[in-house]
A and B are shown apart, each in its own frame.
Chain A
C-alpha cells in the first residue's frame, strides 16, 4: 500500500499518459461499436485484422512525424514534407517506368535510392534557408510547399504515373515475419532515430538548440550544422513516406499524394506531447500520436460516420490538445475547479488500462 500512491502519481504525471489514454479510449470506442474489432487471424502466413491495418496505415504519418519531431524540437517547423513526399514518389515512379527492366528488384532499389537522395537534398535546401540565411522556418519551408507540387508534376509531366513492379509495391503491401513491411520500415527508422538521439548526445544538443540557438552556439554547440541536419532528416523521412504511399497505390498523383500529411504529422507530434515552442521532444509520444491518427481514421467509418468527417474530429483533437498544453487554459480551468489536485482524483483507474496496453 505505501508505495502504490507514488506509482499512481508517477503514471499520472508521466508525459505519455494523455496520449496513451486517448489512444486507449479510441480503441475502446471501436470495440464497443464492433466487438470483433480486435480479431486478428492468420492467412497465407500474414496477419490480417483491423489492428494490422491500423499499424500499416500509420506508417507514412509516423515517418513524416519522426522527422517533424526533431525539426519542432529545434523550434522549427517543416511545412514542405507533403510536397517532398510527392516529389519522392514522382522521382521513384518515373525512374521505374523509364528503366530497361521495369519489374526487377534492382530497378526498384535504384529508383528508391535515387528518390531518397533527392529528398535529402531538398531537406538540406530547407536547412540552408533556415540556418544560413536565417529565414523563419515556417516561411522557408512554405516556399518548397508551394513549389514542390509543381516540381512533382513537372517530373511526372502532369500525368498520373502507374508502375508495375512487385518489389516496389511490397514496400506498402508486403509482409515480413507476418507483419506489414511498411510498419517495420517505420519502426526501423524510429528505433534508429531513438538510438541516435537518446544514446548519444545528439538529442540533448537538438534540445539545446531549440531552447536557445544563440546560447547553445556560444556554449560550443554547432547549432547551424544541427539545424541543417534535422531538416535534411525530415526531408529523408518525408521521402520514405512518399515512397510508401506511392507503393500502396502503385501510382503517383502529384496533386493529391501526401496532401495535408504535414498537418497530420504536426498533429501527431503535438498529440505526443512535444511542445511547438521547441526544446523538448518525445519520440515515443510521436509514435503513439501517429498510431492515434491512424486509429482515428479507422474509427470514424467503423462507428458509422462518413470518413470525410475525419477532418471535423481532427479539428476537435487539435483544439483539445492545444488547450491541454496551454498554460493559460490550464490556469483558467484550475481556478474554476478550485485547486491543482484535480487531475490526480479521477485518474485512479487509469494505470490499469494504460498498463494493459503498454
Chain B
C-alpha cells in the first residue's frame, strides 16, 4: 500500500501526515499546555492577552529559568540537586554583605559566582569520586549553604548599592513593550545551555551518562569530567540565579528561596525531561517555568483563588507528567 501511495503524496498529504519525532513530543505538550493556559486566560480575563504579560513572565521568573537550566543538566545525567534553593539564599546574602562592607559590585558578583561554582564542584567530587548518592550529597550542600547564610548574618540585609539598583531596573524597550536585563541574562543562559547540550561533546556525554553510565564509561567518554561538570554548572547557575534574585528583591536574607529547589525540579519535569535521565531539552525547562509562571499570573488575575493553589496545581501537573512519562517509557521498553 505504502509503496503505491508514497510517490503520489502531495505537499498537503505530507503536512497532514507529518508527525514530529517522538523525542520532541513532551516539549510540544508543554508548549501546548502553555499556549492553552495563556489562551484560556486571555479569553477569560481582560488584559491578560497583552504581550507585556508574556514579557513580565520572563522578568518575574528570570531567576527560576536560570535555576531550571542548571537543574536540567543534573537531571539529564540521572542525578538531582537539592541544594540550589539554599545556594540562591547564600548568593543573595553574600552579595548583600559584601556590598555592605563596601566591596566593588563587580568583585561582589565574582565572589557570588565563585562560591556557587565551588560548592557545585565539591558536591560533584563527592558524588563521583566517593560514590555518594546525588540526593544525599546535595542534601549536605543544602544544609551547608543555608548554614553559611546564617553564619554571614541572621538578619536581613538590604541592597542599596547604585550599580546593583541600576542593573536591577535596566530596561530594554521594544516599541511600547519592555524587558529587564535580568530576563535577557536568563534567555542568554538558556541559549548557551541549549547549544552546549545539542552541539558539543560535553552535551552528548551528558545524554550518554543519563542513558547508561556504565555504557558511557565503556565507550571511553569522559564520564568523571562530565559528571562533576554538571554539578559545577548547576552550582554556577544557582549562584547566577541568586544574583538575579537579589536584583529582583534587592536584599539578602537567610529565609529567601526556601523550597525553590522544588519549583526548579517541577519546572524541569513539566518541561518534559525524564527524571531518570537521558532525555529532555533546556527549552522544555524554559517552557516549564513559563507554565508555572502563567499559573501564578492566572491566579493573581482571578483574585478569588488563594496563592496556595499554586502549589496544589503544580503538584497535580507534576503528577500528570510523571505518570504519562512512566507509561510512555514502559511502552517503549
State whether the Cβ of B144 lies closer than 8 Å to any Cβ in chain A.
Answer: yes
Taking a contact as CB atoms closer than 8 A, the residue among B136, B150, B151, B254 that contacts A322 in the complex is B136
**In the bound complex, do residue A133 and residue B326 qualify as a contact, i.e. CB atoms below 8 Å apart?**
yes
Bound Cα distance A138, B319 (Å): 13
Bound Cα distance A307, B195 (Å): 45
B318 / chain A contacts, CB cutoff of 8 Å: 142-143, 146-147
State whether the Cβ of A44 lies closer than 8 Å to any Cβ in chain B.
Answer: no
Tell whether A136 pairs with B276 under 8 Å between CB atoms, given A312-B151, A315-B140: yes
State whether the Cβ of A149 lies closer than 8 Å to any Cβ in chain B.
Answer: yes
State whether the Cβ of A151 lies closer than 8 Å to any Cβ in chain B.
Answer: yes
Taking a contact as CB atoms closer than 8 A, the residue among B131, B136, B266, B306 that contacts A318 in the complex is B136
Q: Which of A103-131 contact B (CB under 8 A)?
A: none
**In the bound complex, do residue A150 and residue B275 qualify as a contact, i.e. CB atoms below 8 Å apart?**
no
A322 / chain B contacts, CB cutoff of 8 Å: 126, 130, 132, 136-137, 140
**B46-54, B197-205, B238-246, B308-316: which one contacts chain A?**
B308-316
**In the bound complex, do residue A270 and residue B315 qualify as a contact, i.e. CB atoms below 8 Å apart?**
no
When C-beta atoms are compared, the residue in chain A nearest to B82 turns out to be: A263
When C-beta atoms are compared, the residue in chain A nearest to B143 turns out to be: A315
Q: Which of B95-112 contact A (CB under 8 A)?
A: none
**In the bound complex, do residue B130 and residue A329 qualify as a contact, i.e. CB atoms below 8 Å apart?**
yes
A313 / chain B contacts, CB cutoff of 8 Å: 147
Tell whether A146 pairs with B322 under 8 Å between CB atoms, given A312-B143, A323-B130: no
CB distance from A154 to the nearest CB of B (A): 6
CB distance from B271 to the nearest CB of A (A): 15
State whether the Cβ of A224 lies closer than 8 Å to any Cβ in chain B.
Answer: no
**In the bound complex, do residue A150 and residue B129 qualify as a contact, i.e. CB atoms below 8 Å apart?**
no
Taking a contact as CB atoms closer than 8 A, the residue among A150, A267, A308, A319 that contacts B150 in the complex is A308
State whether the Cβ of B141 lies closer than 8 Å to any Cβ in chain A.
Answer: yes
Tell whether A150 pairs with B312 under 8 Å between CB atoms, given A158-B306, A308-B154: yes
Tell whether A153 pairs with B132 under 8 Å between CB atoms, given A139-B275, A312-B144, A314-B143: no
State whether the Cβ of B148 lies closer than 8 Å to any Cβ in chain A.
Answer: yes
When C-beta atoms are compared, the residue in chain A nearest to B153 turns out to be: A308
State whether the Cβ of B294 lies closer than 8 Å to any Cβ in chain A.
Answer: no
Bound Cα distance A207, B188 (Å): 49
State whether the Cβ of B323 lies closer than 8 Å to any Cβ in chain A.
Answer: yes
Taking a contact as CB atoms closer than 8 A, the residue among B126, B130, B135, B323 that contacts A77 in the complex is B135
B137 / chain A contacts, CB cutoff of 8 Å: 319, 322
When C-beta atoms are compared, the residue in chain A nearest to B137 turns out to be: A322
Taking a contact as CB atoms closer than 8 A, the residue among B146, B154, B307, B314 that contacts A306 in the complex is B154
Bound Cα distance A138, B79 (Å): 11
Bound Cα distance A323, B131 (Å): 9
**In the bound complex, do residue B308 and residue A266 qualify as a contact, i.e. CB atoms below 8 Å apart?**
no
Bound Cα distance A144, B306 (Å): 19
State whether the Cβ of B330 lies closer than 8 Å to any Cβ in chain A.
Answer: yes
A-B pairs under 8 A by CB, number:
125
**In the bound complex, do residue A158 and residue B319 qualify as a contact, i.e. CB atoms below 8 Å apart?**
no
State whether the Cβ of B80 lies closer than 8 Å to any Cβ in chain A.
Answer: yes
**In the bound complex, do residue A308 and residue B310 qualify as a contact, i.e. CB atoms below 8 Å apart?**
no
Bound Cα distance A150, B80 (Å): 23
Tell whether A276 pairs with B133 under 8 Å between CB atoms, given A144-B315, A147-B312, A150-B315: yes
State whether the Cβ of A327 lies closer than 8 Å to any Cβ in chain B.
Answer: yes
Bound Cα distance A133, B319 (Å): 12
A259 / chain B contacts, CB cutoff of 8 Å: 258
B139 / chain A contacts, CB cutoff of 8 Å: 263, 266-267, 318
Q: Pick from A153, A263, A311, A314 the residue with the most CB of B within 10 Å.
A: A311
**In the bound complex, do residue B309 and residue A154 qualify as a contact, i.e. CB atoms below 8 Å apart?**
yes
Taking a contact as CB atoms closer than 8 A, the residue among B146, B266, B276 that contacts A311 in the complex is B146
State whether the Cβ of A326 lies closer than 8 Å to any Cβ in chain B.
Answer: yes
State whether the Cβ of A134 lies closer than 8 Å to any Cβ in chain B.
Answer: yes
When C-beta atoms are compared, the residue in chain B nearest to A149 turns out to be: B311
Scan B284-316; emit 1 where CB is below 8 A from any A CB, else 0.
Answer: 000000000000000000000011111110111
**In the bound complex, do residue A142 and residue B146 qualify as a contact, i.e. CB atoms below 8 Å apart?**
no
State whether the Cβ of B142 lies closer than 8 Å to any Cβ in chain A.
Answer: yes
State whether the Cβ of B62 lies closer than 8 Å to any Cβ in chain A.
Answer: no
**In the bound complex, do residue A138 and residue B309 qualify as a contact, i.e. CB atoms below 8 Å apart?**
no
When C-beta atoms are compared, the residue in chain A nearest to B83 turns out to be: A315
**In the bound complex, do residue A154 and residue B308 qualify as a contact, i.e. CB atoms below 8 Å apart?**
yes
Tell whether A311 pairs with B150 under 8 Å between CB atoms, given A135-B323, A139-B322, A276-B133: yes
Tell whether A149 pairs with B146 under 8 Å between CB atoms, given A77-B135, A139-B275, A309-B151: no
State whether the Cβ of B262 lies closer than 8 Å to any Cβ in chain A.
Answer: yes
State whether the Cβ of A248 lies closer than 8 Å to any Cβ in chain B.
Answer: no
State whether the Cβ of B265 lies closer than 8 Å to any Cβ in chain A.
Answer: yes
B132 / chain A contacts, CB cutoff of 8 Å: 322-323, 326
**In the bound complex, do residue A315 and residue B308 qualify as a contact, i.e. CB atoms below 8 Å apart?**
no
Tell whether A153 pairs with B306 under 8 Å between CB atoms, given A263-B143, A309-B150, A318-B143: yes
Bound Cα distance A144, B322 (Å): 12
**In the bound complex, do residue B151 and residue A158 qualify as a contact, i.e. CB atoms below 8 Å apart?**
no
**In the bound complex, do residue A134 and residue B330 qualify as a contact, i.e. CB atoms below 8 Å apart?**
yes
CB distance from A184 to the nearest CB of B (A): 30
Scan B142-166; emit 1 where CB is below 8 A from any A CB, else 0.
Answer: 1110111011001000000000000
B146 / chain A contacts, CB cutoff of 8 Å: 311
**In the bound complex, do residue B326 and residue A319 qualify as a contact, i.e. CB atoms below 8 Å apart?**
no
Bound Cα distance A145, B135 (Å): 15
CB distance from A79 to the nearest CB of B (A): 9
When C-beta atoms are compared, the residue in chain B nearest to A155 turns out to be: B308
Tell whether A270 pairs with B311 under 8 Å between CB atoms, given A134-B326, A309-B147: no
The 5 closest A-B pairs by CB, nearest first: A147-B315, A312-B147, A150-B311, A311-B147, A315-B144
Q: A143-B322, A315-B140, A318-B143 known; 8 other A-B pairs, CB under 8 Å?
A: A139-B322, A144-B315, A149-B308, A154-B306, A276-B133, A276-B135, A311-B147, A328-B130
11 pairs, A vs B, C-beta closer than 8 Å: A133-B323, A135-B322, A135-B323, A138-B135, A139-B322, A146-B318, A147-B311, A270-B136, A311-B144, A313-B147, A323-B130
